[in-house]
């Protein structure tokens, strides 16, 4: 067990998930302080390298979410500092954050994922309906190629697709994928083993940003998940495979839809949240792993070159 080491926590940032990142950082910092660690929480701004040098941490806990935090950028900066940092490295983070590239890798490795098209948001909107009708079917899900936490994710029909795309005009590229109904199931990986499975029953249309982080959304969390042994093995095997082929390390969480006996992998998250409503701590708790033990495992797993 790591005792009284100096931990620098990176939280905040400039992404749409800034507030969630700050909450993750705060939860981790409070838990470490209670357990006698020396902790400094800071933003990834232009003073970061100076703060790292002055604080001289043993490990950097990367609590950033979204762009510039879990897409390989900050990981490249941290590797240059020769200080161990948590979660996946530059390449795996970059791949997992790009929903198109990760889907291509899933497909190449025979991992079922919803059919999709990539839409350049600078093109004429009228062509997108023709493309959807040719390659997919309505309804569809639209989302930015490189955001997390279901930020700006919408279920669209033929009537509102143009309106919703206009609302995302500040993104260059949009992922449009077939809408898969069914059960929302998520699986956590801890190193080389499956940590556990959880099912979500949101009161909203799907498990979107509000359902994830608004306590009033009242999303139902179900553990253990009602799956037979064969299906449980199938989804955990798929999760382990996705974790491996993307090149992830440490903790990841994979999001699935279960429909007509098939598991559709939506995406893999290389830096799952650690807030009071986050799923990985809940899954870990059910597996008998306390929050501090989970954090300490993540710290122990940290590496200079990931």
Residues classed as catalytic: 17, 149, 213, 253, 255, 267, 269, 273
Query: Under a CB-based contact definition with an 8 Å cutoff, are residues 277 and 213 in contact?
Result: yes
Query: For tokens 């999001």, what's the residue?
Result: 255
Close Cβ partners of 267 (under 8 Å, ≥ 6 residues apart)? 96, 99, 102, 254, 255
Strands 116-120 and 154-156: unpaired
Record the tokens describing residue 118, joined without a space. 């990539």
Question: Cis bond leading into 224, ω under 30°?
Answer: yes
3-state secondary structure of 233: helix
d(CA 47, CA 42): 9
Q: Is 72 left (phi over 0), alpha (psi -120 to 50) or beta?
A: left
| H helices, E strands: number in the chain | 11, 12
Query: Under a CB-based contact definition with an 8 Å cutoff, are residues 121 and 171 in contact?
Result: yes
User: DSSP secondary-structure letter at 29?
Assistant: H
Nearest one of 304, 239, 234, 227 to 265, comparing CA atoms: 239
d(CA 39, CA 57): 9
Query: Under a CB-based contact definition with an 8 Å cutoff, are residues 132 and 91 in contact?
Result: no
């Amino acid at each position: 067990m790591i005792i009284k080491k100096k931990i620098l926590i990176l939280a905040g940032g400039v992404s749409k998930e800034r507030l969630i990142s700050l909450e993750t950082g705060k939860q981790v910092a409070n838990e470490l302080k209670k357990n006698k660690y020396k902790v400094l929480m800071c933003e990834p701004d232009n003073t970061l390298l100076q703060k790292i040098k002055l604080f001289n941490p043993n490990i950097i806990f990367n609590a950033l979410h979204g762009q510039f935090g879990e897409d390989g950028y900050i990981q490249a900066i941290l590797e240059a500092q020769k200080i161990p940092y948590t979660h996946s490295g530059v390449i795996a983070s970059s791949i997992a954050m790009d929903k198109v590239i990760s889907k291509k890798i899933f497909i190449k490795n025979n991992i079922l994922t919803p059919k999709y098209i990539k839409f350049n948001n600078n093109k004429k909107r009228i062509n997108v309906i023709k493309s959807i009708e040719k390659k997919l079917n309505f309804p569809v899900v639209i989302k930015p190629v490189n955001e997390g936490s279901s930020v700006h994710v919408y279920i669209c029909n033929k009537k509102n697709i143009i309106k919703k795309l206009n609302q995302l005009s500040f993104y260059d590229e949009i992922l449009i994928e077939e809408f898969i109904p069914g059960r929302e199931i998520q699986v956590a990986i801890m190193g080389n083993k499956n940590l556990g499975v959880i099912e979500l029953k949101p009161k909203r249309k799907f498990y979107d940003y509000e359902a994830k982080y608004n306590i009033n959304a009242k999303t139902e969390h179900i553990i253990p998940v009602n799956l037979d042994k064969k299906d449980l093995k199938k989804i955990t095997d798929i999760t382990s495979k996705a974790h491996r082929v993307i090149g992830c390390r440490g903790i990841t969480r994979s999001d699935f839809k279960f429909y007509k006996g098939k598991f559709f992998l939506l995406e893999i998250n290389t830096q799952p949240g650690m807030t009071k409503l986050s799923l990985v701590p809940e899954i870990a708790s059910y597996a008998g792993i306390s929050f501090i033990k989970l954090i300490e495992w993540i710290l122990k797993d940290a590496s200079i070159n990931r």
